[in-house]
Amino acid sequence: MSDLLGLATLSRVPAACRPRITPGTAGAGIVHLGLGAFHRAHQAVFTEDAMAAAGGDWGIVGVAPRSVTVLEALRAQDRLYSVTTLAAEGRSTRVVGSLAGLRHAASDPDAVVQLLADPAIRIVTLTVTEKGYRLDPATGRLLLDDELRGDLESARPPRTVPGLLIRGLAARRRADAGPIALVSCDNLPANGHRLRGLVDYLATATSHTDWVRENVTFPGTMVDRIVPASTDETRAIARGELGVRDEAALSGEPYSAWVIEDDFPAGRPAWEKAGAVLTGDPRPWETLKLRTLNGVHSAIAYLGALAGRETIADALTLPGMAGMLRRFIAEDIAPSLTPPPGVDRIEYGEEVLHRFANPALVYRTVQVAMDGSQKLPQRVLHTILDRRAAGATPRWAIMVVAGWMRFTGGVADDGHPLPLDDPLAARIRARRAAAPATPAGVVDALLGLDTVFAPELADDEVVRDQLIEWLTEFDKHGVEATLAGTS
Ligand code: CS2
């Protein structure tokens, strides 16, 4: 008998761990692009709980844009997988049954296009990471590269996420399949607005402008749950809890939040019954989360990795790190934003630090550090811009950028190599190589990345001087001693 999680072995799983809905009974109502860990531990869980509470055909057809690894593991398990919630005081595991189908966009893009034309599909959600939208991180404008141009100007199967979206909407129009909501669940500023701008451009380029404006909405969201990359330990824990193997096992923190703009022309799951917040304006939540949680996450990642720390929780124990982060939150982030009603920015920041200190979560600093050119603008640079506009010098936020700049050098303070996993890695390396190997040389080289640093930031002498000062400190004393010296 198989020992793999699936419909045939579900009866062997402890009852408390089994799905909250009967797998396979809910019709597909949602297509999700980007079958990564975060979606499966966040939106897919909220959606299962919403269906358990209020029913509805809101099964999710998960679409993997490129990699087949997770897809094949899920196919072998009848689309079932588990999520183990890891807290300092203990853990709990649940099998999730809200996936109603699986597709692989790279090998069968037309199947995805046809899905988007199906009237039963009324929502598309996306977690394709910041770079998946092909937007300029500094301005939010579309970066029209050859691959995307090919999707727009030829009849070949689409190869990009934006190409899939516009082909699918065109097919939906032809099929007269009715209205639909496209919902970005990525850590982008004004993610609904940015997705609308992207699709508006594509619709204009393909003569579907009016139909898109009349039939498609773009609800903004704030999404939040710390979900580390799965390891053999993740799968071993799942096996111990379930009594069967789960090759697609995930883990996550106890905290999970989803704030969603309530703009769904063809209905939606009762996500509010699963604990989500439906609102007319998610922006305050989104700005608070991107600048506080994600900004602090990136701070710990770059400074911690440079100081030789493997995990976020370990890096947080560096002498001076927590104190610096509290000043980053209080002196730079909090004054840069208006929080949602009733939310205290400092208390929110303290909760973020508590979440990052969770010793049960093994979240690697280099995982957070990847794609820095795509993440820094909304996580740290917008904080700097707002504080500079107010006449302040956000020295802690600038320290984080200095940490990223040093990190792009590819070497930790103890000489160990650091990975530069970034869509702009070649440009970053080329600019650094062409510049003097001095703090000023590195700063000027990287401030010249115009898709990362807006002109008002790149030309700000106060920011430049503070960056040079921090990099000089790092050169002289190392990150660990510099942090210790800030307390
Ligand atoms: C993290 C995020 O890897 C990263 O960049 O900062 O994935 C973070 O864990 C989530 O946004 C938390 O909601």
Ligand 1 centre from 188 Cα, in Å?
11
Question: Ligand 1: which of 42, 185, 187 to mutate, judged by most atoms within 8 Å of the beta carbon?
Answer: 187
Contact 260, 279 (CB under 8 A): yes
For a ligand 1 pocket test, name from 86, 186, 297 the mutation site with the most ligand atoms within 8 angstroms of its C-beta: 297
Average pLDDT, whole number, for the chain?
96
Q: What is the pLDDT, as a whole number, of residue 142?
A: 87
Residues 392, 384: Cα–Cα separation, whole Å = 9
One-letter amino acid of 138: A
**182 CA distance to ligand 1 middle (Å):** 21
Residue 245 clears pLDDT 90, i.e. is over it: yes
Where does 36-76 have alpha helices with state H? 37-41, 43-54, 69-76
Q: Which of 330, 416, 336, 405 is nearest to 369 (CA)?
A: 405
Instruction: Please identify, by atom number, the ligand 1 atom nearest to the C-alpha of residue 375.
Output: 5
Q: How far, in Å, is the centroid of ligand 1 from the Cα of 56?
A: 30
pLDDT at 296 exceeding the cut of 90: yes
Question: Which domains are assigned to the chain?
Answer: 10-280 (3.40.50.720), 284-484 (1.10.1040.10)
Contact 334, 318 (CB under 8 A): no
pLDDT of residue 410: 98
Centroid of ligand 1 to alpha carbon of 225 (angstroms): 7
Give percent of the chain above pLDDT 90.
93
Tens digits of per-residue pLDDT, 254-266? Answer: 999 999 999 999 9
**Which residue's CA lies nearest to atom 8 of ligand 1?**
226
Number of DSSP helices (H) and strands (E) in the chain, helices first? 22, 12
- pLDDT confidence band for 2 (50 / 70 / 90): confident
CB-CB contact of 241 with 235 (8 Å): no
Which residues make Cβ contacts (< 8 Å) with residue 210, sequence separation at least 6?
none
Which helix (H) or strand (E) covers residue 327, if one does? helix 321-327
Instruction: Give the per-residue pLDDT at 437.
Output: 95
Q: What are phi and psi of 364, to 5 degrees?
A: -75, 140
Of 5-14, 129-138, 458-467, which gets the smallest average pLDDT?
Answer: 129-138
Evaluate: CB of 358 within 6 angstroms of ligand 1: no
pLDDT confidence bin for 373, thresholds 50/70/90: very high
Is pLDDT at 447 greater than 90 in this prediction? yes
The confidence band for 384, taking pLDDT boundaries of 50, 70 and 90, is very high
Taking only the tens place, the pLDDT of each residue in 100-151 is: 999 999 999 999 999 999 999 999 999 999 888 988 888 888 888 899 999 9
Q: β-pairing, 81-87 with 216-217? A: unpaired
The per-residue pLDDT for range 424-444, each reduced to its tens digit, is 999 999 999 999 999 999 999
Asked if pLDDT for residue 1 goes beyond 90, the answer is no
Look at residue 171 in the predicted model and tell me its pLDDT. 97
Per-residue pLDDT, 141: 83
Measured distance CA(384)–CA(393) in Å, rounded: 8
Annotate 368-426 with DSSP letters as a single string. HHTTHHHHHIIIIIHHHHHHHHTT---HHHHHHHHHHHHHTTTB-TTS-B-----TTHH
Average pLDDT over residues 377-397: 98
Which has the closest alpha carbon to 81: 151, 10, 147? 10
Q: Is the pLDDT of residue 289 over 90?
A: yes
Tell me what pLDDT residue 387 has. 98
Q: What's the pTM value of the predicted model, to 2 decimals?
A: 0.96
In whole angstroms, how far apart are CA 307 and each of 240, 319, 377, 395?
35, 11, 23, 19
Q: Pocket of ligand 1, candidates 129, 223, 230, 294: which has the most ligand atoms within 8 Å of its Cβ, to mutate?
A: 294
Please give the pLDDT value at position 175.
98
pLDDT of residue 301: 98
Residue nearest to atom 5 of ligand 1 (CA): 368
User: Would you say residue 484 has pLDDT above 90?
Assistant: yes
* Predicted confidence (pLDDT) at residue 487 exceeds the cutoff of 90: no
The verdict on the CB of residue 224 being under 6 Å from ligand 1 is yes
Q: Is the CB of residue 215 less than 8 Å from the CB of residue 173?
A: yes
Distance (Å) from CA 228 to ligand 1 centroid: 9
At 30, which helix (H) or strand (E)?
strand 28-33
User: Is residue 386 lining ligand 1, measured as CB closer than 6 Å?
Assistant: no
| Residue 386 confidence class, pLDDT cut points 50, 70, 90 | very high
**What is the average pLDDT across 93-101?**
98
Percentage with pLDDT > 70 across the chain: 100
In this structure, are strands 99-104 and 90-96 parallel, antiparallel, or unpaired? unpaired
- Which of 19-23, 86-90, 372-376 shows the lowest mean pLDDT across its residues? 86-90
Report pLDDT for 303: 98
Which residues lie below 8 Å from residue 43, measured CB to CB, with a gap of 6+?
32, 60, 125, 127, 185, 223, 258
367 lines ligand 1 (CB under 6 A): yes
User: What is the 8-class DSSP label of residue 254?
Assistant: S
Q: Given this model, what pLDDT does residue 136 score?
A: 86
Per the structure block, which two tokens stand in for 408? 């792009």
Contacts of residue 174, Cβ cutoff 8 Å, sequence gap at least 6 = 117
Q: Which atom of ligand 1 is nearest to the CA of 187?
A: 11
Query: What pLDDT is recorded for position 278?
Result: 98
pLDDT of res. 140: 80
Q: Is 472 in the pocket of ligand 1 (CB under 6 A)?
A: no
* Lookup: tokens for 377: 């603008």
